Amino acid sequence: MKILVIEDDTFLSSLISSELQGAGYEVLAAHDGTQGLEMAKEKPDLIMLDLVMPGMDGFETLAALKADPATASIPVVVASNLGEAEEIKRAKDAGAIDFLVKVHFTPAEIIAKIRSLLPGVH
């Protein structure tokens, strides 16, 4: 089970990656949108995508992921510290299956959420 974490904050990225690995997931870590699109070619089972990133932001990355037939079917969970109603709607309209406001969740809760979104794959 492979998770691609696209997160520009290296501290948060390393924390969530450690927790995901501890939970038995294989983790790919990208630190910006461009790197994320490249790594998405490795067909992860799920992408955890930050929104506010330098260069290509999360919305642009999501649009690019969904526009590419090779990555369009990979479920994307947005994990951002944005979280206004308009931003959530925009992300879901663009194809995100869920929107997590990072500060509201512990890593364990995020992992539980991922498990619930990918039933039968642990």
* Distance from C-alpha of 120 to C-alpha of 122, rounded to nearest angstrom: 6
Indicate whether 34 belongs to the interface with other proteins (CB under 8 A): no
Residues forming beta bridges with residue 80, ordered by sequence position: 101
Choose one: 41-49, 67-75, 89-97, 102-110; the region binding other proteins (CB under 8 A).
Answer: 102-110
* Distance from C-alpha of 99 to C-alpha of 76, rounded to nearest angstrom: 9
Can you say how many angstroms the Cα of residue 51 is from the centroid of all Cα atoms in its chain? 9
Closest approach of other proteins to the CB of residue 69, in Å = 28
With contact defined as beta carbons under 8 Å apart, do 77 and 62 qualify? no
Closest approach of other proteins to the CB of residue 72, in Å = 26
Look up residue 7 and give its two tokens: 């997160």
Indicate whether 52 belongs to the interface with other proteins (CB under 8 A): yes
Choose one: 4-12, 40-48, 69-77, 88-96; the region binding other proteins (CB under 8 A).
Answer: 4-12
* Distance from C-alpha of 29 to C-alpha of 86, rounded to nearest angstrom: 27
Closest approach of other proteins to the CB of residue 87, in Å = 7
Choose one: 36-44, 69-77, 81-89, 112-120; the region binding other proteins (CB under 8 A).
Answer: 81-89
